[in-house]
Structure 1
Amino acid sequence: MQIAEVRRFPVKSMLGDAVPDAWVDHRGLVGDRLWAVCDADGKLGSGKNTRRFRRMPGLFRLRAHAGEPVPIVELPDGRCFAADESAGHRAVSEVLGRPVTLVAETTIPHHDEGPVSLISTAALRALTGMCGGEPGGGDVDPLRFRANFLVDVPGSGFPEDDWFGRRLRVGRDVVLRVVRPLTRCVMIDMAQAPAVGRNDLLKALAERREMTFGVFATVERPGRVAVGSDVAFED
């Protein structure tokens, strides 16, 4: 098994970037989901409504890039703002149609369920067999699941189902402990360039997989992970 993609999302629930490598610490990928869009009542922008999160249509029209000392947010018209810039807050509010600010993580992590998320190419092929591939051809786009790591695994099926509780060594240094499956929401069917909108993926997962796809893991040993890094079980 090998790492096929590394993705980082500097602002939660916005589009992010595929990167050649990333550093991983005990919080997860450095800089991943470290910022979030915050509503007037303190709830964070997401694709679902929970005690902590609020669904905010329009977040996928925005893209966040890594920056120093804060991420850069790109608007649909191409304008870019630093995440802590007041003019940017106003511009993002206009796009979303509600007053919001961008806030950095404090004591409560912005992750939905855990520090690091993983999906496999085998599971994407299995889901493609259930629902069909993308309209333009090919398997279901891994971008839809916003995972940090896409793991290249031969065959077709859901190999992650056998990873729970196991330790994965990724590259030379990083060790992850797989905790449990990731529960999915309507975001996987939403359009996020280049993937177009559809309405069948969440329904299929609800009917056949209790709405789960992929897994999340905690970090037992930090280090660097790159595209092409080997992935192997340590137990």
Structure 2
Amino acid sequence: MRVAEIRRYPIKSMLGEVVPLAEVGERGLVGDRLWAVRDPDGKLGSGKNTRRFRRMPGLFRLQAYAADPVPIVELPDGRRFAADDPVGHRAVGEVLGRTVTLAPEEAVLHHDEGPVSLITTAALRRLTELSGGEQAGTGVDPLRFRANLLIDVPGSGYPEDGWPGRRLRIGPEVVLRPVRPLTRCVMIDMAQDRAGERNDLLKTLAENHGLTFGVLATVERPGRVAAGHMCSLT
């Protein structure tokens, strides 16, 4: 097994970035989902409505990039703003059709469920077999699941289902502790970046895999993770 791809989302629920390496701390990938879009009620922008989140159509039209000292937001027309720029907040609000601000994480973590999310190429192959893949004739696009790490595993199936309770060692430094499968929502069917809108993936997972795909992991030993790092379970 090896790390095939690393994804970081500097602003929650916006499009993120593929990076060659990342620092991993107790909170997860450094800089991941550290900022979020907030409405006047304090709810976080998302693709779904919950006690904490408010569905804000249009978030996937916005791209976020990590930068120092704050992330950069790119609008559909190519304009870019620092995440703490009030002018940028108004511009983002115009795209979303509502009043919003962008704010850094405070006492409550922005993560939906936990620090690090992982999916495998084996599971993507299995979902492709069940659903027919993408319209372009390729396998189901991993970006739909907004996972931090894509782990290359041979075969087809859901090997990660057996990971909770074990340690996943990645490269020479990082050790993760897979905790539980990740329950999915309608966001995996939404159009984002190169992946078009669908209406069947969530239904397929509901019928064949209990609505779960991938696993959540906590960080047992921080360090640096890089694409190509070998992985092992203990």
TM-score (norm 1): 0.98
Tell me the alpha carbon deviations over residues 196-220 of structure 1, each in whole angstroms, 9 at most, x when there is no partner.
1111001111222221100010001
- Which residue of structure 2 lines up, in the alignment, with residue 163 of structure 1? 163
How far apart, CA to CA, are the structure 2 residues paired with 1:215 and 1:56?
Answer: 25
Equivalent position SS for 1:109 = coil
Q: Aligned letter for 1:231?
A: C
Query: How far 1:193 sits from its partner (Å)?
Result: 1.4
Task: Judge which range, 218-227 or 202-211, deviates more.
Answer: 202-211
Q: Aligned letter for 1:35?
A: W
1:169-208 equivalences under 5 Å are 169-208=169-208
How far apart, CA to CA, are the structure 2 residues paired with 1:120 and 1:100?
Answer: 35
- Which residue of structure 2 lines up, in the alignment, with residue 104 of structure 1? 104
- Which residue of structure 2 lines up, in the alignment, with residue 44 of structure 1? 44
1:63-78 equivalences under 5 Å are 63-78=63-78
Equivalent position SS for 1:103 = strand
Q: Aligned letter for 2:103?
A: V
How far apart, CA to CA, are the structure 1 residues paired with 2:210 and 2:46?
Answer: 20
The answer on 1:123 being equivalent to 2:152 is: no
Query: How far 1:48 sits from its partner (Å)?
Result: 1.2
How far apart, CA to CA, are the structure 2 residues paired with 1:172 and 1:137?
Answer: 37
The answer on 1:79 being equivalent to 2:79 is: yes
Equivalent position SS for 2:3 = strand
* Number of equivalent positions: 234
Identity %: 73
Equivalent position SS for 1:60 = helix
Unpaired runs of 5+ in structure 1? none
How far apart, CA to CA, are the structure 1 residues paired with 2:18 and 2:201?
Answer: 22
How far apart, CA to CA, are the structure 1 residues paired with 2:181 and 2:43?
Answer: 24
Query: How far 1:146 sits from its partner (Å)?
Result: 0.5
Q: Aligned letter for 1:147?
A: A
Tell me the alpha carbon deviations over residues 35-91 of structure 1, each in whole angstroms, 9 at most, x when there is no partner.
000011010011111111111110000000000000000000000000000000000
- Which residue of structure 1 lines up, in the alignment, with residue 138 of structure 2? 138
- Which residue of structure 1 lines up, in the alignment, with residue 94 of structure 2? 94
How far apart, CA to CA, are the structure 1 residues paired with 2:211 and 2:67?
Answer: 34
